[in-house]
A and B are shown apart, each in its own frame.
Chain A
């Protein structure tokens, strides 16, 4: 069965409809390109065909992008050749005199948008489902179907670069404003409208009106300003990626080549880069992440999820409002807090979230009002009655959490789930006095909830599978990537974060500089340095976690510092009270954050010295990796996949390295074990490698099957 249907209408318009016979969306593959070539090429030269329309039969996608599986087994040369074939076909369409119209309803991403860009006219449906973008860069790739050339031609350098370099998606109306799309229409009958447009283009009554480029964009196409614009872009890329990601510079090179030497040269560059990038380690890791997130979003095998028709949230703080925000489209949400001011703050942050979604055209205005009507803010526990799941997000205090659970159990049904959004308190402790411990679990969201993709579901020995399945289903509905981990001190994410942050403090005590420590880990690929991260999560929170976990793992030679506790007691809470390791002036300053040198007195005085950045990096990163291995060994996480997802999505472990377990695989356990033993000899037994790693080093095994090289 082919993926393309062809209809030649009586009026001479050939409608090419993409409809993959098995998949729910259309994706680009070499087969599709061949099929397209076989069907479309004759049409271009057929005098009876006056114009061509390209459309999709899938309900909410035009073309979702390239089929990533196809690339997997191929060599760099083969992958580049694929791009070359595709580009040749698209260039033939783009330069042909016969009008070709793209009828875009639904997602037109990556190669999908590139197909549309090669058409002479893009008609898009003004519908929330219609999103356009070149997300290749997010997978460590570049658009290799002409977008680095044609997007620049359509919208200018300054409009195209943000799309190409960040991979952000735009909705139809925004795309129209930018000039990506030529006209908007309604989704129903879009093919018919496209045919009318195609005929009008054929008889000359319609012409694509080129977007008037801004003065900057017009001069940016020519030297010398071109050089200036691209240089600025390069600098920005270097600042943001610290040279770790090869795709953005490659994209900039393609754009520059196109501007200097013409589109054909630019297209050749694209294809040349595509293969090496696709087989490179960065893209392999990012593509793996993409697939792993998809897998994690599948329903659990065990346990029957119960529907959540009413969600309760206890604690209207930043986390509580965040959980409410991501749930409002799903069911009524009742948020309970004892403090009226907290409810007012929650109302504001939830409302601002809705306004933002309306502004970005993610939801229509009336839908925002519908969601507002689902929100109930209350000071009464009784209003939790009828909730099928209650998430508590109160202060991290065991007694308080137990009290909240006891209060909730008074009003909720035995069939309702009680979830604690704790980041470290053991679930079994919280559930110790519960009437129904089987429905108590942890739903550990990350802050800010609407942005952070990870949900760590923590199950105790007594948690029932149906409760886990219910939390898992809710998390997926909220758009989160859930991992299920076993109860224990710090669960998974907090447990592997604690030694990492603690080590940063130890380096500070040895005389290290705040900015050097952060730079060392950012150069490794962490988006935020460990010291800055402590400021973000709160020094008080960090101090608590470090104390609790330090005590739990003291027998392993864990050296915990009480400096954080002293710092916290001295009134330093981090960004939230603008007193932390960095300065947070009320008026925003340009440039990088400045270190608050006043904190050094808590870490042995103001005399600082340079500490070898690679040692700092290994001490911190390997402690995290080692702890992750212990978690796998102890069954806290059930797979390396969950461990990698949790570390990357929850803690910012460098995505280009694919998580701690991939990191072990990429070096081989033997090398890491050696390095750790070396560190243990110099810095103490906390660097003793996990026995799992030692065994793997001896046997020469890996966590994941080896990748074809």
Chain B
């Protein structure tokens, strides 16, 4: 039996921050996931001025594990101001990894297992681990057992020249063999999401991110990063295209179905490097430590769906369920932060939330959840424009949601994201 038997403690978000998000292969080319993670966490500790010794849990999300830092979270604890005594682990739930990290921390705080926690995430796609092909790996491992020159020579038998080429990084869904872009095509076709609507959505995302950057509201969540050899502060996301136009987007060729497709590089999220972190505590601990929290966690939901036909539809289930958990309705929520893997995917989710049939069948409601007000949705841009370092996106969504609650003087905010494996997480926050 669990020793927890009391009323759950209220979880509050003190603040969040992130490194700038940069297109892979650009400013952060030489940084590892560990570097991006520790920079985000160190920046969070610095700006919240939390006593690092008070932090008693860190959970870190990442997707493409660097074999050198398989428990990334713990390495980040050891490489920052946090006390060595702070337990830490690493979760990998595709693009909701740091939302899962947040939920794990929240659960620990609710039960009293932790009081002050950091949920973080980091990803670099500039240096994804690349493997040898199986025939080479097989022989490399066998070579540790083999003795003598002859034995080693024998190992080379049957090895073909092309086996020496490295294996392409696996992007396809393991269960279905389909890569995510192709699956998004499948979804766009099934639900009839037109190309132009996708391009318009993507364009708006870039324009909103550019405006939020200019207004400085995004800057508040960014900790500048200084990278050798110049050490000049990198303080802005570099993938936002404020000057993009509909014509330019329309000119792009579909990326996954060259002839009949609608999903292009322009209306999909791009490969990004970055780290993000959120400080969350029990309400009591925040008071004791003199921290001023931004928001309280009101409700959460986790769902898993069909990996072929519903791969990207997580938010269609988790957003309404998180609202249920928070006992509120969609129209009360003034701040909505949805992960934008693809424009088509966001539009599909919005379509289904407004669809009586879907909501009856999959949510057991008597009618549709409702229409999401586009003005309330991703007002500062989203993954399409700001970028999408897989492991860090969840922490960015939470940070943006909490910051928007204050800037917009709103009361309730919701966060939802989909992930490979057809998993989704939804969260509802209330401003404090």
Contacts and interface: CB of A to CB of B under 8 A. Distances in A.
A377 B225 CA distance: 10
B70 interface: no
Contacts of B81: 332, 370, 373-374
B80 A348 contact: no
A219 interface: no
Interface stretch (B38-46, B129-137, B291-299, B413-421): B38-46
A340 B232 contact: yes
A377 B228 CA distance: 15
Given A369-B38, A373-B38, A386-B49, A344 B80 contact: no
Contact of B46 (A332, A344, A366, A369): A332
B80 A369 contact: yes
A377 B233 CA distance: 10
A458 to B, nearest CB: 31
B232 A369 contact: no
Contact of A372 (B42, B229, B230): B42
Interface in B47-80: 49, 78-80
B228 A348 contact: yes
Given A340-B232, A373-B42, A373-B45, A347 B79 contact: no
A377 B39 CA distance: 13
Given A373-B38, A376-B46, A351 B79 contact: no
A372 B230 CA distance: 16
B68 to A, nearest CB: 12
A347 B38 contact: no
A332 B80 CA distance: 11
Interface string A364-387: 001001101110110000000010
B226 interface: yes
Given A369-B80, A373-B80, A377-B226, A345 B231 contact: yes
Contacts of A323: none
A52 B100 CA distance: 59
Interface residues of B, number: 17
B49 to A, nearest CB: 7
A406 to B, nearest CB: 24
Contact of B233 (A343, A366, A376, A386): A343
Nearest to A340: B233
Contacts of A332: 46, 81
B322 to A, nearest CB: 34
A351 B231 contact: yes
A366 B78 CA distance: 7
Contacts of A351: 228, 231
Interface string A307-346: 0000000000000000000000000100000001001110
A376 B81 CA distance: 12
A351 B39 CA distance: 14
A351 B230 CA distance: 11
B64 to A, nearest CB: 21
Contacts of B80: 369-370, 373
A334 to B, nearest CB: 8
A373 B226 contact: no
A372 B223 CA distance: 14
Interface string B203-230: 0000000000000000000000010111
Contacts of B232: 340, 344
Contacts of B49: 386
Contact of A344 (B41, B79, B233): B233
A373 B79 contact: yes
A348 B49 CA distance: 24
Contacts of B231: 344-345, 347-348, 351
Contact of A370 (B46, B79, B229, B233): B79
Interface in B68-106: 78-81
B109 to A, nearest CB: 23
Nearest to B80: A373
B310 to A, nearest CB: 41
A372 to B, nearest CB: 7
In this complex, which of A340, A369, A372, A373 has the most chain B Cβ atoms within 10 angstroms of its Cβ?
A373
B46 A347 contact: no
Interface in A268-304: none
A348 B227 CA distance: 9
A104 B319 CA distance: 63
Given A369-B80, A370-B80, A373-B81, A344 B42 contact: no
A332 B43 CA distance: 12
B233 to A, nearest CB: 6
Contacts of A370: 78-81
Contacts of A376: 46
A347 B226 contact: yes
Nearest to A374: B81
A351 B78 CA distance: 18
B391 to A, nearest CB: 19
A121 to B, nearest CB: 31
Nearest to A368: B79
A170 B46 CA distance: 36
Interface in B223-268: 226, 228-233
A95 B90 CA distance: 57
Nearest to B223: A376
A344 B78 contact: no
Nearest to B227: A347
B35 to A, nearest CB: 8
A386 B229 CA distance: 31
Interface in A379-433: 386
Contacts of A345: 231
Contacts of A348: 228-231
A676 to B, nearest CB: 52
A344 B38 contact: no
A481 B174 CA distance: 64
Nearest to B51: A309
Contacts of B41: 373
A401 B116 CA distance: 41
A351 B226 CA distance: 10
Contacts of B78: 366, 370
Nearest to B45: A373
A344 B226 CA distance: 8
B55 to A, nearest CB: 12
Contacts of B38: 369, 373
Contacts of A340: 232-233
B33 to A, nearest CB: 14
Contacts of B46: 332, 373, 376
Nearest to A364: B78
A694 to B, nearest CB: 56
Nearest to B230: A344
Contacts of A373: 38, 41-42, 45-46, 79-81
A366 B226 contact: no
Contacts of A386: 49
Nearest to A355: B228
A363 B42 CA distance: 19
In this complex, which of B79, B81, B231 has the most chain A Cβ atoms within 10 angstroms of its Cβ?
B231
B79 A366 contact: yes
A320 B101 CA distance: 39
Nearest to B232: A344
A370 B76 CA distance: 9
A341 to B, nearest CB: 8
A374 B229 CA distance: 20
Nearest to A379: B233
Given A347-B231, A366-B79, 12 more contacts: A332-B46, A344-B231, A344-B233, A348-B228, A348-B231, A369-B79, A369-B80, A373-B41, A373-B79, A376-B46, A377-B233, A386-B49
18 contacts: A332-B46, A343-B233, A344-B230, A344-B233, A345-B231, A347-B231, A348-B230, A369-B79, A369-B80, A370-B78, A370-B80, A372-B42, A373-B41, A373-B46, A374-B81, A377-B226, A377-B233, A386-B49
Closest CB pairs A-B (n = 9): A373-B42, A369-B79, A347-B231, A373-B80, A344-B231, A348-B231, A347-B226, A344-B232, A373-B81
Interface of A: 332, 340, 343-345, 347-348, 351, 366, 369-370, 372-374, 376-377, 386
